[in-house]
Amino acid sequence: MTANRYPLLAATALATLPLMAFAQQEAGDAASEQPTIESAPEAGEGPSSPQPGQDDREDEQQDATSPEGTQPEAGPQGAARESSPQDGASDAQALAEPQDLPEVGADWPFWGGDAQATRYSPLDQITPGNVDQLERAFEYHTNDMPEGTAEGKYSPEITPLKLGDDVLMCSAMNILISIDAASGEENWRYDPGVPNEAIPYGATCRGVSIWTDPEAAEDDICKTRLIQATLDAKIIALDAEEGVPCTEFGENGMIDLWEDLGQRVPGWYAVTAPPSIVRGVIVTGAQVKDGQAEDAPSGVIRGFDARTGELAWAWDLGAPEENRDGPPEGEVYTRGTPNMWTTAVSDEELGYVYLPLGNSSVDYWGSNRSEAENEFSTALVAIDATSGEVAWSFQTVYRDVWDYDLGSQPTLVNFPHDGDTIPAIILPSKQGDIYVLNRETGESLHPVEQYQVPSRGNVEPEYLSEEQPTSTYHTLRFDPLEERDMYGMSPLDQLYCRIQFRRANYEGFFQPPTADAPYIQYPGYNGGSDWGSVAVDTDRGVIVANYNDIPNYNQLIPQEETDWPIITDGGESGEGSGKGAPQEGAPYSIRINAGWRSPITGMPCTQPPYGGIRAIDLETGETLWDRPIGTARRNGPFGVASHLPFTIGTPNNGGSVATAGGLVFIAAATDNLIRAIDIETGETLWTDVLPAGGQANPITYEADGRQYVMIAPGGHHFMETGVSDAVIAYALPE
Amino acid sequence: MSHSTTAPPKRKAGAWAVKAVAVVLAFIGIVLLGGGVYLILLGGSWYYAVAGALLLASGVFLFRMDRTGVLIYAVTWAITLAWTVWEIQFDWWAWVPRMVAPTVLLVLVLLCLPALGARRSAPNQVA
């Protein structure tokens, strides 16, 4: 497959040709002077207001980029695309230069650690030699626990940030909190009052983002902003130090994302991921309730000026040109298009934001999808954040009817290649394939193999693709299931699972959905890699990837045979419901047995391990070590904890942190342990029991010369790992 | 088969225990046999039907207080062990569903031996 499966790109480029001439010149000049200022007035009717002090800002930003020097010439493509803001983009333009970004180390300033999302920290106080002395330094409680209808819906998945003296975070219901990084004392909190009815599938706030206004004076309020997108679809900007709303941003520090989406149905459009910020543009998608109806809110991706909150651009793949500045009066963004529920990564240098898109709604039926949806569903799309135009896209599933949403935040690396390094992006997927793409062009650095699917089934054979891409760099996927892989606590329930196996339609990877009998989807929609993403130790050249190894047991059910109400049991894109979804508007609803659990014992029908963690050589893609993750202590038949200390390899959600000290910190598994793993050997050197499941990414930072490892083990309803409001910091004894 | 009624109380209790084990074996055997035949029809493993038939036979013999039942179960267990090694080799987690419950049953069946001690197999007894 070629990276550019995108005819529209050509069209877009043609359409903007007249502007490109102008742009080329602009790009050429960009490094030295300030043509963007001239371009701003021509922006015409946009919602922009003239930016006071624009000139200073330009200058400051030039300085900020100078260390990297050559950036604007980085690629003809990148340069050309910078051209395109033809209208309404003056705000974005004003900020269109790369900014100086905070670095990981003492701080953890981005959700993925650094701007590249490597989840790798240069801290080395904690080492394999002393990690066994690690102890709890403090424990903070957000006091955000489920009440009323939120009961049983909490999956906070919180990853804090650390900046300066503070740890900044959100709670499950989007309460913004600042605590002291060394003591855990609360500095302030801000409760936006998200109602329970806004909870989509789970009350989740994976994280927050920080943006520093390069133009603001050092002691200006809101110079450094804490930015959060909420379950009830708002973007909130607060001063990161004081916790007060940034009044110049949106309406009193708030933007309403429901605008231009059509009918408001609480819970149908919710943001659970931290927004990505690139060149002063806040970029966000949202989780659109999966599997409910064809007529779901749009998956539109929007960019907002981080200073003013004005819409900088919108990328509506159903109407990219028409809706770039928002839909015309009285209309809405194209409904039912693929959404991005997970976290994007920004490339400040190129000015691109890389969007891991999900699947089109509904998930398990595709014949009525538009060509644009077919083009972009389950694809990584690079958008030029200064213009909102597509730079390239790379599709990981053709015509996805498996709900293989891209769940991981990709990671930017300088990839060693033929004695040189290439600016690349690592893209993990739920199928397990890990791709390495040139981040300027979207081309895979390794051949992409075309897998011939075993069958296109009998439900919509004309729609489904005969082949699917797979990575020759690395895959976390295992061999197809066989009858002997069936599990149980005894021969009796194992026999039951074997019968289920034989009754199902299953011919291997990319088994198409069927209605005449159940079918097996393996890997299931939980991965491979999910939102926890991978960590990349860029010093040692090692990718650390935890993964799930679990099938789903599904069946399409003709609509006339079901009368499931909409909303009740839909799934989060990415984690999905365990039971099914009505898929209204499609001829079939879908019945899902997530993890293919035996109805007799509640245990998985397939044998362990159900999850593992693997170290991969960055340069070669070869496995360095691979181990099951998660002990059996909390798992057992009939939902009874076995208390067995053996590592069995459990389902896991949540990522890892790698440190220069040579350790990998990860919880993720359903055993509610956090552990430190030797990155060289894969050996677990230290564990601690958490109050609930650590389905969250840990972080590490330094305060007063002491290295801390922090995790917010909020538990997860779908993973059945309890619920907690604790935020725990570990450190070596003083 | 009226011997048990004339047996001393201790022996009588032992006989009831053996019969209980026999019923359990027979029940499991019936389920495995039925499901196993279905699995064969679906193209799956023959082990379950075979094991089910043997368990049923073992249960029937034990219910008759016949030591042949113990022998049949021991053979079934050995077949299970061989089949486990053949099918999944030494992946120990995969041994759990295949060997743990059959081994627990093996212990129970062996515990029946004292109660069956006086009588060899039924035909011998008659002889």
Its CATH class, for the domain covering A7-731, is mainly beta
- Of residues A684, A681, A607, the one with CA closest to residue A649: A607
- Give the span between the Cα atoms of A513 and A597, in whole angstroms: 18
Residue B121, in any domain of the structure: no
| CB pair distance less than 8 Å for A608 and B93 | yes
Q: Say if residue A103's pLDDT is above 70.
A: yes
| CB pair distance less than 8 Å for B44 and A490 | no
Report whether A275 contacts A227 (CB < 8 A).
Answer: yes
- Give the span between the Cα atoms of A611 and A529, in whole angstroms: 10
pLDDT tens figures, A617-636 = 999 999 999 999 999 888 88
- Give the span between the Cα atoms of B15 and B6, in whole angstroms: 12
Catalytic pick among A403, A493, A530, A671: A403
pLDDT tens figures, A140-162 = 999 999 999 999 999 999 999 99
Average pLDDT over residues A249-263: 96
Q: Look up residue A202 and give its amino acid.
A: G
- Give the span between the Cα atoms of A361 and A300, in whole angstroms: 13
Chain B residues interacting with chain A (CB cutoff of 8 angstroms) = 28, 31-32, 35-36, 38-39, 42-45, 48, 51, 80, 87-88, 91, 93-94, 96-98, 100-102
With H, G, I as helix, E, B as strand and everything else as coil, classify residue A729: strand
Mean pLDDT of chain A: 87
Report whether A104 contacts A120 (CB < 8 A).
Answer: yes
Q: Which residues in chain B are closer than 8 Å to A496, comparing Cβ atoms?
A: 35
- Give the span between the Cα atoms of A635 and A643, in whole angstroms: 8
C-alpha of A138 from chain center: 29
Task: Tell me whether 0.95 is exceeded by the ipTM.
Answer: no
Residue B95, in any domain of the structure: yes
Q: Say if residue A66's pLDDT is above 80.
A: no
Q: Say if residue A706's pLDDT is above 60.
A: yes
Of A96-105, A336-345, A571-580, give the lowest mean pLDDT range: A571-580
Question: Nearest-CA residue of chain A relative to B29?
Answer: A492
Domain-by-domain residue ranges, chain A? 7-731
Q: Say if residue A419's pLDDT is above 80.
A: yes
pLDDT tens figures, A192-210 = 999 999 999 899 999 999 9
Please give the residue range of the domain that contains residue B47.
9-116
pLDDT bucket at A642, cuts 50 / 70 / 90: confident
Q: Say if residue A13's pLDDT is above 90.
A: no
Of A35-44, A144-153, A606-615, give the lowest mean pLDDT range: A35-44
Residue B3, in any domain of the structure: no
Element (H, E) at A278: strand A276-278
- Give the span between the Cα atoms of A629 and A346, in whole angstroms: 30
- Give the span between the Cα atoms of A715 and A207, in whole angstroms: 15
Task: Name the region of A590 (left: φ>0; alpha: ψ -120 to 50; beta: rest).
Answer: beta
pLDDT bucket at B118, cuts 50 / 70 / 90: low
Q: Say if residue A693's pLDDT is above 80.
A: yes
| pLDDT more than 90, % of chain A | 77
Residue B99, in any domain of the structure: yes
Number of domains in chain B: 1
Question: Nearest-CA residue of chain A relative to B97?
Answer: A490
Q: What is the pLDDT of residue A291?
A: 61
pLDDT tens figures, A541-560 = 999 999 999 999 999 999 88
Residue B122, in any domain of the structure: no
Report whether A621 contacts A400 (CB < 8 A).
Answer: no
Of A375-384, A427-436, A512-521, A633-642, give the lowest mean pLDDT range: A633-642
- A347 catalytic? Reply is no
Q: What is the pLDDT of residue A68?
A: 37
Q: Say if residue A360's pLDDT is above 90.
A: no
Q: What is the pLDDT of residue A8?
A: 36
pLDDT tens figures, A569-594 = 333 333 344 577 888 888 999 999 99
| CB pair distance less than 8 Å for A503 and B97 | no
- Greatest Cα pair distance, chain A, in angstroms, is 77
